[in-house]
Amino acid sequence: MTVSDASEKDKAVDLEVIQGRLAAIEQRLENLEESQPEDKVALIIFSGDLDRVLAGFVIATGAAAVGQEVSMFFTFWGLGVLKKQTVLSGKNLFEKMMAVMSPDTSKNLPVSKMNYFGVGAKMLRKMMKDKNVSSLEEMIDMAKEMGVKMLACEMSRDVMGISDDELIDGLEPAGVGSFLGESLTSKTNLFI
The residues in 136-165 that bind a copy of itself, with binding defined as CB under 8 A, are: 155, 158-161
* Minimum gap (Å) between residue 38 Cβ and a copy of itself: 10
Site map 2..21 versus a copy of itself, x via CB under 8 A: --x--xx--xx-xx--xx-x
Q: How far is the CB of 2 from a copy of itself (least distance, A)?
A: 11
Binding of residue 69 to a copy of itself (CB under 8 A)? no
74 is a contact residue toward a copy of itself (CB under 8 A) = no
Judged by CB under 8 A, the chain residues 117 through 136 that form the site for a copy of itself are 123-124, 126-128, 130-131, 133
For residues 17 and 40, what is the distance between their CA atoms, to the nearest angstrom? 40
Q: How far apart are CA 165 and CA 115, in angstroms?
A: 28
Among candidate residues 36, 190, 70, 191, the one with its CA nearest the CA of residue 139 = 70
Please say which residue, 65 or 85, places its beta carbon nearer to a copy of itself: 65
Strands 70-74 and 186-191, how do they pair?
unpaired
Cα gap 92→150, rounded to integer Å? 27
Angle at 51 between CA 46 and CA 52, to 5 degrees: 30
Over the window 84 to 103, marking each residue x when it contacts a copy of itself by CB under 8 A and - when it does not, the resulting string is: --------x-xx-xx--x--
CB of 98 to a copy of itself, least distance (A): 7
By C-beta, is 60 or 171 nearer to a copy of itself? Answer: 60
User: Interface with a copy of itself includes 68 (CB under 8 A)?
Assistant: yes
